[in-house]
Amino acid sequence: MGDKNEGDVSSNSEGVTEIPLQDVVKIDDKRNSIKSESANVKDAEIAVTTDKKIPQTISNFETMAHLLKGNIGTGIFSLPSAFLNAGLWVGFGMFPIIAIVCVHCMQMLVKCAAVMKRRDANFSISYAGTAEMACRTGQPQYAKYARAFGITVNVFICLKHFGACVVYLVFTSTNLQAVIEYYTDIRWNVRIYMCILTIPLIFLNWIRNLKLLAPVSLFANVLQMSSIVVVFYYIFRDPLPPTNSVPAFGSWGGVPLFFGTAIFSLETITLVLPLQKDMRRPWDFKGWTGILNTGMTIVTCIYIAMGFFGYLQYGEEIEGSITLNLPQDEVLAQVVKILLVVAICGNYAVQFYVPIPIMWPTLSKYAARYTKNDFAAELAFRTFMVLVTLLLAAAIPKIDLVVSLVGAVTGTFLALILPPILEYVTCAPNISKSILTKDIVILVFGIVGFVTGTYSTILAIVQEFTG
């Protein structure tokens, strides 16, 4: 057929369908199967037979919607406080740099997963699976680290999601406390609200079927997006002060805190592979103007707008969550807080769902020694982990500090430290000096961010509760 582009499809005389695409096979929507002996893909090889049921795929628009929905979360409400730590213009300059590095690391993961698919057509795409497969199929000296690399990725994925649950519990409790204290004379400690909210969360997290959580997630996302719009309304309702009304630079100690919050907001690297895998046109995901770059550019602009203008509007009085700065005497503002409490409880269940399939299969073997009822044992484990998030939230009931700590510890590893290591293991020994240098720079950037962000956040926590 002449020169072949990424979208070209050709068939030879033997009935073999050749589809030179990246990562997956392009499947005609009108056909239920493709009869073939092999499929040659630029970055992957997938054989599809008439006996294999074609999975349901999603359009580019749906992929973009999922990408935006998965990235714009609770962290956005803590960004004005992060800009307070870094300073208005320092935060304005640092955030896009951090975003560019994070998105590049996402692209690195997508590329490495494509290489693993080329090496093994039966490879099941995931972050941990890509890390393990890279060691097994790469240089012989790395094979012995394959299982450890995969386990490391899974550990940080679990920590990230449980950490997000801690953030959500602190966020909902703080906002619920603000509403109740305004309308009543109740003056309970925020930890009491955490205990109260934990009760429905325990039952909500007993749901083991993801399909049952889908309506909860959809409802939560609608409420959260609506609340973000209302927050922007309050930011721009009154004239903004001049930019020189707040410091351009916060403090050196505040920069690592800003880094942790920014990483928490931007770290959704575990989302990219499942999204691309389910796409109808997966080759549109990558590239300079692909869905990933376009979507993350939109997300970054929304985040910068919230952080920059939120801090500019409320100045030094900005709270750990900007929702606490909304006018207390206006019903709309109070309704937003209540809606966010409901929405974040739904998001808590979705976040909580992710690490359970990773942890429980291994733990169930030990549980079987004490009980034959695997269902009851799993519910007990789920209840225990909800109580663990309660203990952690009660220990650090400051939304901005919890966000920064979770971002600095878990987000930095998943988004900045592990991807360059993965790319090196995948490409070695045929890795160019420029790529090696780039990977080293990103790795050092991630390590410095992890060390300084974690240290500064822990120091701020100690000062907060001892000073």
Please give the average per-residue pLDDT across 334-360, as a whole number. 92
List all residues 6 or more positions away from 341 whose beta carbon is below 8 Å from its beta carbon: 172, 175, 176, 197
Calculate mean pLDDT across residues 361-388.
Answer: 92
- List C-alpha distances in Å: 304 to 223, 228, 431, 444: 21, 13, 35, 25
DSSP secondary structure letter of residue 10: E
Which residue in this structure is represented by tokens 């996402």? Answer: 106
Q: Tell me the average pLDDT across 106-117.
A: 93
Q: What is the pLDDT of residue 465?
A: 84
What average pLDDT score do residues 157-182 get? Answer: 95
pTM given for the model: 0.84
Sign of CA pseudo-dihedral 252, 76, 271, 40 = negative
DSSP 279: B
pLDDT at 108 > cutoff 90 = yes
Tokens of 250: 């916060």
Residue 424 has φ and ψ, to the nearest 5°, of: -65, -45
Q: Is the dihedral of CA 172, 221, 295, 121 positive or negative?
A: positive
3-state secondary structure of 312: helix
Pair of tokens at residue 409? 């510890």
Q: What is the dihedral of CA 8, 11, 12, 15, to 10 degrees?
A: 160
271, pLDDT greater than 80: yes
More confident residue, 281 or 321: 321
Q: How far apart are CA 207 and CA 204, in angstroms?
A: 6
Whether the Cβ atoms of residue 459 and residue 263 lie closer than 8 Å to each other: no
> Is a pLDDT exceeding 70 seen at residue 47?
no
pLDDT given for residue 275 in this prediction: 87
| Measured CA angle at 76 (ends 257, 420), to 5 deg | 60
Return the pLDDT at 217: 84
pLDDT at residue 365 above 50?
yes
Q: Is pLDDT of 194 > 60?
A: yes
Average pLDDT over residues 68-86: 93
Indicate whether 42 pLDDT > 70. no
Three-state secondary structure call for residue 322: helix
Q: Which position has the token pair 């973000």?
A: 228
Rounded to an integer, the average pLDDT of 429-455 is 95
Q: With 50 as the cut, is the pLDDT of residue 160 above it?
A: yes
The whole-number pLDDT of residue 5 equals 42
Query: What are φ and ψ of residue 51, in 5° steps?
Result: -90, -10
Residue with tokens 């406390």: 177
Q: Inform me whether the pLDDT recorded for 8 exceeds 60.
A: no
CA angle centred on 411, ends 225 and 167, rounded to 5°: 50
Kindly tell me the burial class for residue 30, based on how many C-beta atoms sit within 10 Å of its own C-beta (0-12, 13-18, 19 or more): exposed
Q: Which residues contact 354 (CB under 8 A, 6 or more apart)?
A: 157, 158, 161, 270
Which of 47-51, 186-190, 191-195, 332-336 comes out lowest in average pLDDT?
A: 47-51
- The pLDDT confidence band at residue 55, using thresholds 50, 70 and 90, is low
Please give the backbone phi and psi of residue 10, each rounded to the nearest 5 degrees, phi first.
Answer: -140, 155
Q: Which of 46-55, 122-131, 171-180 has the lowest mean pLDDT?
A: 46-55
